[in-house]
């Protein structure tokens, strides 16, 4: 199982678009993929066809109200989604003081997705520095500009 966090300090540089397309393509060729919408805007869910915004998701998992498997939505063959949930935007206030939300997410995910080939995390802007995302994750930096520039990094990650 490979976990890929799609990150960048900036907003609007194609993180969600990249996540959506890579998840779709990998599922299409037969990999089992779970996509986690870790951005309170909830646009990854919308991109995958889930337009209801008031359903709980990874927010309730991080708050220990639900297990992550309870929050999984099958969106198409081989592709599952964990939506953001309405409380993700307030998660820093809702968690105990000093808990980096990256670490809370890691603990909450545990080994639930061991049967998946890929878990993608679509992050909000600024995730790497602010939330303790460390080296054990594969990090895919999206940049504005000429997208083919990032192809070697993408190929390295998916050369499994
Ligand atoms: N390769 C691309 N070429 C042209 N437009 C693109 C490309 N990738 C994304 N876009 C467009 O750029 C806009 C921002 O994309 P996207 O929402 O994926 O960025 P984001 O980094 O996830 O933004 P946010 O930080 O707000 O979550 C969207 O309108 C999207 O359709
Ligand atoms: Mg986005």
Residue of 138, 113, 136, 105 whose CA lies nearest to 39: 105
Question: Which residue has its alpha carbon closest to ligand 1 atom 23?
Answer: 12
**For residue 25, is pLDDT > 80?**
yes
pTM for the model stands at 0.85
Which tens digits make up the pLDDT trace of 54-107? 899 999 999 999 999 999 999 999 999 999 999 999 998 898 887 888 888 888
124 burial level (CB within 10 Å; 0-12, 13-18, 19+): buried
What's the pLDDT band for 109 if we cut at 50, 70, 90? Answer: confident
> Measured from the CA of 125, which atom of ligand 1 is nearest?
25
What sections of the chain are H helices per DSSP? 15-28, 43-47, 58-62, 91-94, 101-109, 127-130, 151-158
49 lines ligand 1 (CB under 6 A): no
What's the pLDDT band for 149 if we cut at 50, 70, 90? Answer: low
15 lines ligand 1 (CB under 6 A): yes
Write down the residue that tokens 């499994």 correspond to. Answer: 160
Residue of 108, 62, 54, 43 whose CA lies nearest to 86: 54
Question: Which residue has its alpha carbon closest to ligand 1 atom 16?
Answer: 14
Q: Ligand 2 centroid to 44 CA: how many Å? A: 7
């Amino acid at each position: 199982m490979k976990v890929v966090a799609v990150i960048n300090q900036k907003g609007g540089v194609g993180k969600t678009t990249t996540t959506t397309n890579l998840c779709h393509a990998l599922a299409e060729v037969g990999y089992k993929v779970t996509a986690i919408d870790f951005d309170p805007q909830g646009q990854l869910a919308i991109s995958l066809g889930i337009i209801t915004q008031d359903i709980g998701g990874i927010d309730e998992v991080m708050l220990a109200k639900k297990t992550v498997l309870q929050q999984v939505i099958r969106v198409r063959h081989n592709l599952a989604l964990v939506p953001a949930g309405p409380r993700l935007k307030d998660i820093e206030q809702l968690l105990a003081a000093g808990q980096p939300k990256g670490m809370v997410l890691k603990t909450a995910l545990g080994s639930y997705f061991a049967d998946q080939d890929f878990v993608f995390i679509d992050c909000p802007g600024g995730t790497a520095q602010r939330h303790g995302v460390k080296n054990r994750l594969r990090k895919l930096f999206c940049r504005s500009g000429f997208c083919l520039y990032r192809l070697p990094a993408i190929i390295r990650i998916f050369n499994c």
